[in-house]
Amino acid sequence: MGRKSLFYRLTFGLFIGALIAPAQPAQAQWATFDATAYGQRIKAELQRARQWADEIQRYQTMYTTAVQQLTTLRGVLQIVDKQLARDMETARLTSDIADIIRGSNILQNQVRGMVKYQGNF
């Protein structure tokens, strides 16, 4: 009777344990292949490769233009001309500012002279 009671307890414990234990997720036994996802990935990688090719082409054009500008006399003269034009514009602006300051000083001296002249009466 004691053995039956022990067997009964073990069986009942295993049954309760099986009910309480969480279920394990199902696992595939072989690799699956998703053709649509694979196609999308290939498409994305091709787009990325095209973007890199465009970027390389843009840098190549920039490099070629810079080499051409710096190795030909016309290119060097164009660069110098642009720099001189910028410098001339700065010189004109500086001259205009100097004229304004000079005119302000002349006006200030005239006003001081008028105040001194009227103060003598």
pLDDT for 90: 87
68 close to 75: Cβ distance less than 8 angstroms: yes
pLDDT for residue 61 is more than 60: yes
* For residues 65-82, average pLDDT: 79
Query: What's the pTM value of the predicted model, to 2 decimals?
Result: 0.37
> Backbone phi, then psi, for 14, in 5-degree steps?
-65, -40
User: Average pLDDT, stretch 105-115?
Assistant: 87
Residue-range domain boundaries for the chain: 39-71, 76-121
Query: pLDDT tens-digit profile of 7-36?
Result: 888 888 888 887 787 777 777 677 777 888
- Around Cβ 5, how many Cβ atoms within 10 Å? 9
